[in-house]
Amino acid sequence: MTAHPPVAAHRARGRSRGAVTSFAAVSVLIAGAALTGCAQQRDSDVYTVMNSSTDETYHRWDAEAMARCGEQLGVTVEQQSVPASQVMTKALRMASSKSLPDIVQFDASEMPTFADAGGLVDLRTLGLATDDIPEGIVDFGSYQGTYYGAARSVNTLALFYNKDILDEAGVRVPTTWDELRRAAKELTEGNRYGVALSAGGAEDGVFQFTPFMWSNGGDETDLDSPQVVGALDYWKALLQDGSLSKSTVNWTQADVNDQFMAGNAAMMINGPWQVETLNTDKSLHWEIAQIPVPEAGADSVGPLGGAVLTVPNTGDTERERTAGRIVACLASEKEQLTYALNSWMVPANEKAAAKWREEVPELDALADQVAAARSRTAKLGAGWSGVSLALQSAFQSALTGQSSETALQRAQQRATSGN
């Protein structure tokens, strides 16, 4: 099925997964910088937002939203966009020179690192409420119980499937692991694999593993538990069945989408940032469903992805209060709905999400998946980066011959020791 939003399409950018940043390095840099006190005079009516909207379409959408909020608040809101991989390093340099912008949009997986060193203001103290935001999304923007980041929209993973292929094979959309394994076997034929996913040695692979780990009762604090081992064994089973390409250990999520579009996979695990690319092929009839679970009736728990708007701790309380009002406007129900319809993401606000479902019912399963999703950094905060790196190594080992148990024992040791 082709999803058609009521706005123009854009070039998808895969914003769901953030680069893993070294907590130790960032901590030292922030600790060495005086985060309070402004080193330069600023125009009291001009406020700056630093984000990663380098894509022309995203930049324009954000500029329009900022103009609307600026007009509403009687200020000018300017946008400074840098590549996503440079937001943290740029923020660190600006912290050192006491020239931080009024608002920084961090990838949510990086936000805890900056917050841990005292670099951000509690948004609740600036008047931002979370009444209409699901608990998992509040946690997504929080660190150690403090709400630092407001999400305008979030994303997660889902099962995408080629409707024509499944219909022709008489295969029903799988909802459990057993059903997915059987379906993948039946749909594997010639050069076509039953399912595609990313197990590459980067955050993409970890992002894709989390729904299998979490839905099986596993936890990032205990990587060698039977539940996590079982999840990785399931991936190995798909590989051993021949239903999953051996190249999965090298694929990014973009590569997975390419395989699906080329007809080399009947199903794939991926996210809404691929929708526009999928829609370029009018002959491809795709639909989505929640990611299958170990047992019928269990919750499909996926990872939340996306960015959050934060207010840096500059020491200028008056500017911080106004920055908080700008964040509140950008994250309002109306602005969230506009942004989500543009970007194919799901609004963080429950009321906006309900309206979003009505506008794009084709993507309804994504909203269901988001409702049970959780943040990767909710339990470990800045410590997530070490776990991510350990899991990346475990995938490479287990999917190329080592037992899941041995690979994950090593991963747990590595995550605990930091080596």
d(CA 335, CA 102): 19
241 burial type by CB count under 10 A (0-12 exposed, 13-18 middle, 19+ buried): middle
Dihedral of CA 113/114/119/121: which sign? negative
Claim to verify: residue 261 and residue 171 sit in the same structural domain: yes
For the chain, the domain total comes to 2
Claim to verify: residue 146 and residue 96 sit in the same structural domain: yes
Helices marked H in 331-363: 333-343, 350-359
* Terminal-to-terminal C-alpha distance of the chain: 46
User: 110 near 50, Cβ under 8 Å?
Assistant: no
pLDDT in tens, 149-191: 999 999 999 999 999 999 999 999 999 999 999 999 999 999 9
User: 321 near 308, Cβ under 8 Å?
Assistant: no
- For residue 86, give the amino acid letter: Q
DSSP string across 71-124: HHHTSEEEEEE--GGGHHHHHHHHHHTT---SEEEEETTTHHHHHHTT-B--GG
Considering the domain boundaries, does residue 355 fall inside one?
yes
DSSP string across 148-208: --B-SEEB--EEEEEHHHHHHHTPPPP-BHHHHHHHHHHH-BTTBEEEE----SSHHHHHH
152 token code pair = 């305008």
* pLDDT computed for residue 308 by the predictor: 98
Report percent pLDDT > 70 for the chain. 90
Claim to verify: residue 270 and residue 189 sit in the same structural domain: yes
* pLDDT computed for residue 378 by the predictor: 86
d(CA 11, CA 190): 32
User: 61 near 9, Cβ under 8 Å?
Assistant: no
d(CA 57, CA 59): 5
Claim to verify: residue 246 and residue 324 sit in the same structural domain: no
Claim to verify: residue 263 and residue 353 sit in the same structural domain: no
Give the CATH number, domain containing residue 180.
Answer: 3.40.190.10
3-state secondary structure (DSSP) of residue 314 = coil
* pLDDT computed for residue 5 by the predictor: 44
In sequence order, the 6+-apart residues with CB closer than 8 A to the CB of 56 are none
3-state secondary structure (DSSP) of residue 177 = helix
Claim to verify: residue 237 and residue 174 sit in the same structural domain: yes
pLDDT in tens, 245-265: 999 999 999 999 999 999 999
Range of the domain at 208: 158-302+380-417
Claim to verify: residue 291 and residue 389 sit in the same structural domain: yes
d(CA 399, CA 390): 14
Other beta carbons less than 10 A from residue 101's beta carbon: 22
Claim to verify: residue 253 and residue 390 sit in the same structural domain: yes
Considering the domain boundaries, does residue 5 fall inside one?
no
* pLDDT computed for residue 26 by the predictor: 56
Report how many helices (DSSP H) and strands (DSSP E) the chain contains, helices first. 17, 12
* pLDDT computed for residue 13 by the predictor: 41
Q: Residues, the chain, total?
A: 419
Claim to verify: residue 346 and residue 270 sit in the same structural domain: no
Q: What is the mean pLDDT of each run of 10 residues along the chain (419 residues)?
A: 43 41 53 49 89 92 97 98 91 89 94 91 97 92 96 96 98 99 98 97 91 97 98 98 97 97 98 92 97 96 96 95 98 97 93 94 90 89 90 96 98 88
User: What pTM does this model have?
Assistant: 0.85
Considering the domain boundaries, does residue 84 fall inside one?
yes
Report strand pairing: 46-51 vs 103-107.
Answer: parallel
Claim to verify: residue 256 and residue 391 sit in the same structural domain: yes
Mean of pLDDT over the chain: 90
Considering the domain boundaries, does residue 136 fall inside one?
yes
Q: Which residue has the tokens 């009762």?
A: 217
* pLDDT computed for residue 113 by the predictor: 87
Claim to verify: residue 87 and residue 49 sit in the same structural domain: yes
Considering the domain boundaries, does residue 108 fall inside one?
yes
d(CA 112, CA 327): 18
Considering the domain boundaries, does residue 170 fall inside one?
yes
Helices marked H in 216-252: 226-240
Claim to verify: residue 257 and residue 403 sit in the same structural domain: yes
